């Protein structure tokens, strides 16, 4: 999955779990179902509310569990976050609650930004979002009177065609209130996969080398070419493709081979029918997996990877903390650590490739262990420059940037100064989602997770205990809609979009508002992605998993 840049640089939590939990006077939890998807952080928020009276505002179309702990639940329409946040900032400015000194000293672009926010009057915002005027006023007041506010978000903010704009709006809000670079504040995207932060940090994005260094920079390219025994020309100066751009190209027959590592696109990419055809059309599909996933039938070659419990290395968690993992059990069969498979593959490609390869190229791929890989990372990645297995093993807990071997790491980013110098305010306008309900498809589908399962469920559907608790996909339907659909007694529903149809049991609940259903993508027999739309954010290329139009019928 692609990362999202903010006004300050890389997409990462600016603050740490501890300082947020201990020092935030208020929380703005927007588009994160924290207790189900980040249970440790969810627990710390609940404790902060109960034990020291921190004020919690939840902004989520669904009545998630944290709402029980909130002083205010803003139940806005899906895909209206920019309007909502602009509205809150409008009220903050109208009351003079902004941090004038912070804005003057540490930011730029304020006037252009303010010109846009001025247009988002409470009345206009209430109309777009469906949030009552008093609640908008209350939310702005709570944030102004309980500083600092920690802003936390996850996929409810990013998985939209306006994902980048949503994130930038939240950055605007925190700069306006002067909540950056202080304990208990910050912009905090809660990262998802155990090592998605590490994967992004170390170049698992199409536009950057490790440490968010641009592939388009000739100096950076030269540095990497030298380290890897290549000429500059052997490294592409062009930005590559994201996963969501590869699939349409495979579908058109323009992308001929794909190597899928630790992803199950048949379950997790939007519009499954489209993905099936894309993988069928692709001439070579290599799948590097720990289980025969739903994508396995489309693979020409399977490369068995070792699971997290069967290898050594580091994972970087959501608060930029680099942590060691150790091999606990032997891998079954022929499974090998992913790094080993990749380096063997690289050597084979170099050997048969038509580039004039010298012996030196191979040595760049001769790793003995992950300790040696970390040494290379440190030598080429400024934010990891001081990281070593030795330091981690001696008990140091390092959060990047770790600038050198003596540097203690950085629990809070942007103290005193932003990495780009001044923080940039961005004028952001509300744009509606790509597909809204109409006569034929009158309801909104939103998709996401439940506590008991993990994405396509390859791991969690193999766990007996979890399957006992949550054995099949449930679709959340509001009581009001259930009655309209004639669901009394029956519980099965058919949900259709322009792209596909699923059938599953309904869970009749006020967790979803009227007019909206919520489905997960944990079960192949009723996966939400049969229905979702592959509309992308133009910058981050993230799909709009959180909004599409559907028809719901009782069966």
Residues at the site binding Mo ion, with contacts judged by CB under 5 A: 192
User: Using an 8 Å Cβ cutoff, are 89 and 119 in contact?
Assistant: no
* Min dist. Cβ of residue 225 to ligand MGD (A): 28
> What is the C-alpha separation between 12 and 412, in angstroms, rounded?
11
Q: Residue 258: which of Mo ion, ligand MGD, none does it interact with, CB under 5 to 8 A by kind?
A: none
**Position of minimal CB gap to Mo ion:** 192
Build a one-symbol-per-residue string for 170-199: x at contacts with ligand MGD by CB under 6 A, - elsewhere. ----------------------xx------
The torsion angles phi and psi of 94, rounded to 5 degrees, stand at: -60, -30
Give the x-and-dash track for 270-289 against ligand MGD (CB under 6 A).
------------------xx
CB 544 within 8 A of CB 438: no
**Pick 294 or 361: Cβ nearer ligand MGD:** 294
Q: How far is the CB of 474 from ligand MGD (least distance, A)?
A: 13
- Within residues 232-271, the interface with ligand MGD by CB under 6 A covers 261-264, 267-268
529 binds ligand MGD (CB under 6 A): yes
Contact with ligand MGD (CB under 6 A): which of 128, 143, 154, 474? Answer: 154
Write b or e for each residue in 379-413: b if 16 or more Cβ atoms lie within 10 A of its Cβ, otherwise e.
ebbbbbbbbbbebbeeeeebbbbbeeeeeebbbbb
Nearest residue (CB) to ligand MGD, 37 versus 99:
37
Phi-psi region of 203 (alpha: psi -120 to 50; beta: other; left: phi over 0): left
Cα(339)–Cα(384) distance, rounded to whole angstroms? Answer: 18
Q: Does 319 bind ligand MGD (CB under 6 A)?
A: no
8-state DSSP, 398: E
Q: Which is nearer to ligand MGD, 403 or 541 (CB)?
A: 541
Q: Does 343 bind ligand MGD (CB under 6 A)?
A: no
Q: Number of residues in contact with ligand MGD, rule: CB under 6 A?
A: 54
Task: Return the residues of window 458-487 that contact ligand MGD according to CB under 6 A.
Answer: 458-459
245: exposed, middle or buried (C-beta count within 10 Å: 0-12, 13-18, 19+)? Answer: middle
Q: Which of 411, 448, 513, 524 binds ligand MGD (CB under 6 A)?
A: 448
200 binds, among Mo ion, ligand MGD, none (CB under 5 to 8 A by kind): none
Q: Alpha carbon of 56 to those of 211, 324, 353: distances in Å? A: 34, 33, 57
Minimum Å gap between C-beta 404 and ligand MGD is 31
State how far the Cα of 321 lies from the Cα of 133, in Å rounded to an integer. Answer: 40
Is 209 or 521 the residue whose CB approaches Mo ion more closely? Answer: 521
Lookup: tokens for 178: 């002067």
Report if residue 1 touches ligand MGD, rule: CB under 6 A: yes
Pairing of strands 492-496, 107-108: unpaired
**Least distance from C-beta 502 to ligand MGD, angstroms?**
11
- Beta-strand pair 548-554/492-496: antiparallel
- The β-bridge relationship of strands 107-108 and 423-424 is parallel
The reply on whether position 545 binds ligand MGD by CB under 6 A is yes
Q: Residues 298-317: x/- map of binding to ligand MGD (CB under 6 A)?
A: -------x-xx---------
Q: Among residues 3, 11, 61, 178, which is the contact residue for ligand MGD, using CB under 6 A? A: 61
SS (H, E, C) 506-534: EEECCCCCCCEEEEECCCHHHCHHHCCCC
How far are the Cα atoms of 460, 462, 535 from residue 465, in angstroms, in the given order?
9, 9, 36
Binding interface with ligand MGD (CB under 6 A): 1, 30-33, 36-37, 59-62, 64, 78-79, 81, 154-157, 159, 192-193, 261-264, 267-268, 288-291, 293, 305, 307-308, 338, 446-449, 451, 453-456, 458-459, 521, 528-529, 532, 545-546
């Amino acid at each position: 999955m692609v990362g999202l840049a903010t006004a300050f640089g890389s997409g990462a939590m600016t603050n740490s779990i501890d300082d947020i939990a201990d020092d935030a006077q208020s929380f703005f939890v927007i588009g994160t179902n924290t207790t189900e998807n980040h249970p440790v952080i969810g627990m710390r928020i609940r404790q902060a509310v109960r034990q020291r009276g921190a004020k919690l505002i939840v902004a989520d179309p669904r009545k998630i569990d944290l709402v029980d702990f909130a002083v205010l639940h803003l139940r806005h329409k899906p895909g209206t976050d920019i309007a909502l946040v602009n509205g809150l900032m409008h009220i903050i400015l109208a009351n003079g609650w902004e941090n004038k000194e912070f804005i003057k000293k540490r930011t730029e672009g304020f006037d252009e930004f303010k010109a846009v926010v001025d247009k988002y009057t409470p009345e206009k915002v209430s109309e777009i979002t469906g949030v009552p005027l008093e609640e908008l006023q209350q939310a702005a007041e709570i944030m102004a009177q309980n500083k600092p506010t920690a802003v936390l978000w996850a996929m409810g903010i990013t998985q939209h065609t306006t994902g980048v704009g949503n994130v930038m709006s939240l950055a605007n809000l925190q700069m306006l209130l002067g909540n950056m670079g202080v304990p208990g504040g910050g912009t905090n995207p809660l990262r998802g996969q155990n090592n998605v932060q590490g994967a992004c940090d170390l170049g698992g994005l199409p536009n950057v080398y490790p440490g968010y260094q641009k592939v388009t920079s000739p100096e950076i390219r030269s540095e990497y070419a030298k380290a890897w025994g290549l000429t500059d020309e052997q490294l592409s100066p062009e930005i590559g493709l994201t996963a969501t751009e590869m699939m349409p190209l495979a579908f058109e027959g323009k992308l001929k081979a794909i190597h899928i590592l630790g992803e199950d696109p048949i379950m997790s990419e939007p519009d499954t029918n489209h993905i099936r055809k894309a993988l069928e059309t692709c001439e070579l599909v290599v799948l590097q997996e720990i289980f025969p996933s739903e994508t396995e039938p489309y693979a020409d070659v399977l490369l068995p990877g070792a699971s997290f419990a069967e290898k050594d290395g580091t994972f970087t968690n959501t608060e930029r903390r680099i942590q060691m993992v150790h091999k606990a059990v032997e891998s079954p069969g022929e499974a090998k650590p992913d790094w080993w498979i990749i380096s063997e593959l690289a050597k084979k490609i170099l050997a048969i490739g038509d580039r004039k390869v010298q012996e030196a190229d191979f040595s760049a791929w001769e790793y003995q262990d992950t300790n040696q890989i970390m040494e290379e990372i440190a030598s080429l990645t400024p934010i990891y420059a001081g990281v070593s297995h030795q330091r981690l093993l001696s008990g140091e807990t390092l959060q990047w940037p770790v600038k050198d071997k003596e540097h203690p790491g950085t629990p809070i980013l942007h103290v005193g100064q932003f990495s780009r110098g001044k923080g940039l305010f961005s004028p952001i306008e509300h744009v509606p989602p790509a597909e809204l309900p109409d006569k034929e498809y009158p309801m909104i589908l939103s998709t996401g997770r439940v506590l008991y399962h993990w994405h396509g469920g390859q791991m969690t559907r193999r766990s007996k205990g979890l399957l006992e608790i949550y054995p099949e996909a449930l679709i959340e339907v509001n009581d009001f809609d259930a009655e309209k659909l004639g669901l009394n007694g029956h519980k099965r529903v058919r949900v259709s979009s322009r792209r596909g149809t699923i059938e599953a049991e309904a869970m009749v609940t006020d967790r979803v508002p009227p007019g909206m259903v919520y489905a997960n993508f944990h079960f192949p027999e009723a996966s939400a992605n049969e229905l979702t739309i592959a509309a992308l954010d133009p910058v981050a290329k993230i799909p709009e998993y959180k909004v599409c139009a559907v028809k719901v019928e009782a069966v």
